[in-house]
Structure 1
């Protein structure tokens, strides 16, 4: 399983806490924007880490002309991280539109294959992991070969079950062909964007740059149905709150290494829930990412589709939120019906992360970027 290393956690003395009175001071540095589109209204907030307040390695993208919202988190440190997220933000629309022309030109078989890639992309076990390793010549250890074969068989079984579950989910959802096509467009567009970032990262001043990308594409079909295509590459998050029930769910998978270990059944869910008590699991959760745009290996975008109703809400967030608001206080802000303007809500969600930093709950200072809104 490939991995991308994030900056290590900054050491903090035991019990160090950001004084409560400083939370408001830190939040005054946040940039907050009102966002409006044909299918939603909302806001975005972004706050650079106090450790490098002059440089924000996060970005957000607002593309109202195509009803897409997104957040990006640059990886690579210093200039490379800052440039990577901005580059991904600025080039996303180009690759989305180019991929649309490619998908529209596909024959029926090609479009079916493209849709199958979308379904299979929801397995965190890649197809290459279940293929026999290429022989490098020389004598091999029969015991190692047997263990390797058994491991591949186990992973194959897990992957097949995941793909079958998602196939049944999409059959029940029965999205119209136009929505399936949009999902295929996003899948292809993100992979092509990754290739461009990888090429850009070969330049000396940008070596090793990469970026996460997580977003939502909103669609209203001619018969009035609304769909949300949530997509992600990397360890930023997307959440969906249902207006009818108030239930908040993670809308798409997160590529932090801990979640990958859970899906591979190498770590139990109970162990993962207590990751903070285990140095290895803590590192897997906070510091290791299995994929991002610009990595050497082509990414596998995670894409999920939901039918939406007016009043449903969503939240996109870089890991500065989820890595510090471990108790999920932000969900309270998301579901409150009397929370004031969307700019105030975006600020409140950001506050929940800064409060987690103040209470030494999680990883500590990081850039924090959120986009939140309500479906019209």
Structure 2
């Protein structure tokens, strides 16, 4: 088999099944990435969601014996939605980041990679392959950068000339010796808009992110969001798009051809108070197909309480009081206590004092005491 001819066939096939970009890279180690990951680890900047073994993240042959090439794919997602509902008093809405619009991208990209694998094995039955999307060991961005999909930007995204940074990435390790693509030149230049506008200062410098401060990370945690970040969450209930929306390279970039990612406005910009009412079952039925549902309802509902405070939604005070007294989850009770302190009302203060007499969780007690102190100032 002529590998070069087959590579051309594979590229045509990839485009025919809806893959927007495909590139090829050598499966050699990633020494620069290894150093960056070690620094991230030493500084405590990692999110904890990554593969903890840095060797596996930077040594492809540890994942697939005799690996020679890595195929990188990118699929574009939309940056705009039609008929976005308006948030208004008594009907406040949160927002899921664009990376959670439509079908869970893990499902879509895994399906595309499975189709690529099948195509390869028809032509090269003895090929060894290993695919991954996001949760795999390799760094999707490092592979995409090497494979010429785009350049690694200061906001820690891959930016493509065609779609900006609004792309999902996946890759496949293979024992086939494909011709490597040419990496792109970095086009960020002197621009530092993403660094300057990051709400929490999570972007330390170009290409370095302190995930512990990143709103996208914070909205996915299951514990209390630290006090210093709560006011910065805004109405985000999953993820954060700020460093993408301010990027000049994303200006005018909107692709709607991937039907799987067409957003349902009522789901990606949901009413906050009804969102808090979901049970595990109804949340899964409603949002389970979206990538933003992967951590379950608890973080989303906690974020919804913070968003209601962002809007100074006093109509939500009875709901905060109900959660404070009745919700079995300490994080929800603690967040409700903070919310009542922020909105300051006589009924809220009375509820906080009453709950303090019976609250056994130390973190919730601390939140109640802080909220009462705020009311006294």
Q: Higher strand fraction: Structure 1 or Structure 2?
A: 1
* TM-score band, normalised by shorter chain: under 0.3
TM-score normalised by structure 2 residue count = 0.26
Q: Which has the higher contact order (CA 8 A, sep 6+)?
A: 1
Q: Higher helix fraction: Structure 1 or Structure 2?
A: 2
